Amino acid sequence: MTGRWQPAVTPRGRTSGAGSAPRPRLGHRPRGRASLVLACTLAAGVGSGGISLLGCYAPPQQPPASSEITAVRVSILGVEHLTPPATGYERVYKPAAIAPDGSAGFFLSVAVRDQQALQLRLKVVPAQTSSALVAVAAPGTAGERALGGLPQAFNANTTALLAAGRGFWWLDEGPGPPDDLGWRLGVVLPGALLGEHGRLEVFAADGADGAPLGGDRIDLVRDFFYLAVIGDSIQWGNGLREEDKIWARVARVIAEETGRYVVTQVHAQAGAEILPSESDTPCFWNCYGEVPRVTTSVTLQAQLIERPELMDLVLMDGCINDVGVETIIDPLVPLEELTALTEQSCGPDMSTLLRQVRTLAPQAPLVVTGYFPIVGRQSDVFGVRRWADSKDITLGEETETLLQTLVDHSMLFWETAHAGLTQAVAEVNTESAAGPMAAFADPGFTEEHAVFTPDRWLWSLTADGDLAQLFELDLDLFPEDPLFAFRAARCFDDNAVLGLVGCLYASVGHPNPRGAQAYADAVIAQLRVLGVLPPA
């Protein structure tokens, strides 16, 4: 949920409204390296060692000597009898075949200087438990070698290991020329270790903390679940860390209850409308959905879904930006105009979009999420004014009348959108020969959970003098979400679609972690109705 953002700044200690002085321009706008330094300063301590965050490099803690790493470096060069996901670039694989006893065998090609020091370990990711694989002698007899093809138990010893729940491996081939460091490893894992998500670590030495030193790894799963996410900033998850986003919460439950690894492609983007515009463009390069460089409609996002015929679920929303957040919270907009816009955008326009998605991915269940009252009777008017300033909306001076008007607008949009989206889903289900394939997920917000309320489920604003001093901006309130520093580095980019202050405030009015959990719970409930998940 994002409107058509316009920059507007109010100096500290001043209010904006009818009869107020013109808003001054930004007193100082850091650019280029200066803005990145500020963002990196704010981000310090957030990233883990050795990870680059928006160009901010955090050095690893107590790095081992380079000579030590080189001596034990192991690299996985290739795999055999393992299948990667059909979309994306993750190093996650599922066995190409499962033996009758539930075990799975495959080959790895690795580069290593000292093959005698090689170790293999499988970590069960959800449980964070590890199991060392047993090194065994390679198949030696003619009968053992005749098994060929798929690695499997080839004698009584290896059969006993599998029966005991232990995996094993062997060196299958040595290097050719003297300078060839490549080796081929045969690996067999018992069914007990082939759970929801395992991580196979290949290394030649342990670090001081017991972690593999200079090794490599791949992830192993039983099967894949393909999820596509399209829509606006609600589905993108403005202000939320990735693990807190709606789709991430839903994906975790799917993985836990189905045992399948969720491969997710997220095309949702802040400010996205259902209907394409003249500037409608795919965002392929350096794309960050919270501060987009180009605008991509939800209709175009649907067409960008990779391998739509494989999707197991499409999670989506849309229509609030076609109406316009500015339209919803502008007290001067007539209720009749707001009603007509909402009925068209959340009704017929959404029906058309759903039909297009069903055509692209006829096998995939669809879950459409709803919206919420943006402003409630318990919302703090001062905060709402500051937010409205960022959208270049001037609010009136009579507080009680103003608040009630904003509440009336918010409730009208919410109720009308809810009815339109519900009807759109019902129409698509009626047209489906396969039975209901779409569902509407109501996140269950009430006006008590609106922006700037005591029990809010939406990001609001906070006073933070440290942020004001670092950025030298004439703002008295700053976003309360944890991604502000990272978003700011993008906001100072002249190529950003959003205006500066609107960009800084891009999290405001979007679900916070409590709100995102309410959304995820509603989606999960509908997945049980659709049969994607088992009944509760």
Q: Single out the residue of 227, 233, 228 nearest to residue 289, CA to CA.
A: 233
* pLDDT value of residue 486: 84
* pLDDT value of residue 396: 67
Q: C-alpha 279: how far from its chain's center?
A: 25
The token duo for 297 is: 């409609």
CB count, 10 Å around CB of 304?
15
* pLDDT value of residue 14: 30
* pLDDT value of residue 213: 85
The answer for residues whose C-beta is within 8 angstroms of residue 75's C-beta and 6 or more apart is: 110, 111, 112, 216
Could you state, in order of their start, the residue ranges of all structural domains in the chain?
Answer: 66-220, 224-530
How does DSSP classify residue 333?
S
- Cα–Cα dist 131/164, whole Å: 12
Residue pLDDT tens, the chain, 536 long: 433 222 232 322 333 333 333 332 222 333 333 444 444 444 443 333 333 333 343 444 455 554 454 556 899 999 999 999 999 888 999 999 998 889 999 999 999 988 889 999 999 887 778 899 999 998 877 667 666 578 889 899 999 999 999 999 999 876 555 556 789 999 999 988 887 789 999 999 888 877 888 899 999 999 999 999 999 999 999 999 999 999 999 999 999 999 899 999 999 999 999 999 888 999 776 678 888 888 899 999 999 999 999 999 999 999 999 999 999 999 889 999 999 999 999 999 999 999 999 999 999 999 999 999 999 999 998 888 888 877 777 776 666 688 899 999 999 999 999 999 999 999 999 998 777 899 999 999 999 999 999 999 999 988 765 655 555 556 678 888 999 888 887 887 655 555 677 788 899 999 999 999 999 999 999 999 999 999 98
- Is the Cα torsion angle 264, 267, 273, 276 positive or negative in sign? negative
Q: Single out the residue of 333, 325, 300 nearest to residue 238, CA to CA.
A: 325
Beta pairing, strands 92-95 & 182-189: unpaired
Place of tokens 């309320």: 453
Place of tokens 């953002």: 5
* pLDDT value of residue 208: 80
Q: Do 472 and 270 meet the contact criterion of CB atoms below 8 Å apart?
A: no
* pLDDT value of residue 515: 98
Amino acid at the residue 88: G
Amino acid at the residue 523: V
Q: Single out the residue of 296, 252, 243, 244 nearest to residue 270, CA to CA.
A: 296
Q: Do 196 and 256 meet the contact criterion of CB atoms below 8 Å apart?
A: yes
What phi-psi label fits residue 165: left (phi over 0), alpha (psi between -120 and 50 degrees) or beta? left
Q: Single out the residue of 167, 187, 214 nearest to residue 71, CA to CA.
A: 214
Architecture of domain 224-530: 3-Layer(aba) Sandwich (3.40)
How does DSSP classify residue 511?
B
Query: What are the b/e assignments for 484-494, b being 16+ CB within 10 Å?
Result: bbbbbbbbbbe
User: 66-220: which CATH number, 2.170.120, 1.20.1280, 1.10.3210, 2.60.40?
Assistant: 2.60.40
* pLDDT value of residue 2: 39
* pLDDT value of residue 494: 56
The token duo for 508 is: 């405001």
The answer for residues whose C-beta is within 8 angstroms of residue 238's C-beta and 6 or more apart is: 1, 2, 270, 290, 459, 481, 506, 507, 510
Place of tokens 């290739």: 78
What phi-psi label fits residue 182: left (phi over 0), alpha (psi between -120 and 50 degrees) or beta? beta
What phi-psi label fits residue 185: left (phi over 0), alpha (psi between -120 and 50 degrees) or beta? beta
Q: Do 215 and 235 meet the contact criterion of CB atoms below 8 Å apart?
A: no
Query: What are the b/e assignments for 416-429, b being 16+ CB within 10 Å?
Result: bbbebbbbbbebbb
String of DSSP letters for 166-213: --EEEEEE--SSTT--EEEEEEEE-GGG-SS-EEEEEES-B-TTSSBS
